[in-house]
Amino acid sequence: MAKAYWISCYRSVSDPAALAEYAKLAGPAITASGGRFLARGGALKTYEAGLEQRTVLIEFDSMEQAVAAYESEAYKKALDIVTKAAERDIRIVEGVA
């Protein structure tokens, strides 16, 4: 079974305090759903048409698990906060088996 990944790029952050509140709820919701943080911000280098944006990479054991985590009630509570605090591009992609 192929693993799956959340790739989240933050285009802008309008409310850093609210983003911190989101993180307090999102981290436990994601890890409780089987997610493992592989990259969370930090140094990055962009090439070609890449934009220097905060990027988060989370690994799950399957596509189904990744989608279920995003759609979980615990994560929805975090989403209510972050949608008012930041503009993001989130993708869930299946890894190579």
pLDDT, one tens digit per residue, over 31-43 is: 999 999 999 988 8
Least confident of 21-25, 32-36, 47-51, 58-62: 47-51
Q: Is residue 71 predicted with pLDDT exceeding 90?
A: yes
H or E, element range at 45: none
* pTM for this model (two decimals): 0.90
Asked if the 4-94 domain carries CATH number 3.30.70.100, the reply is yes
The residue extents of the domains of the chain are: 4-94
DSSP state of 1: -
User: Tokens for 26?
Assistant: 């999102």
Percent of the chain with pLDDT over 70: 100
Which range among 6-10, 22-26, 43-47, 71-75 shows the weakest confidence by mean pLDDT? 43-47
* Polymer length of the chain: 97
Task: Name the H helices within 1-97.
Answer: 16-32, 63-71, 73-85
pLDDT band at 64 (very low <50, low <70, confident <90, very high): very high
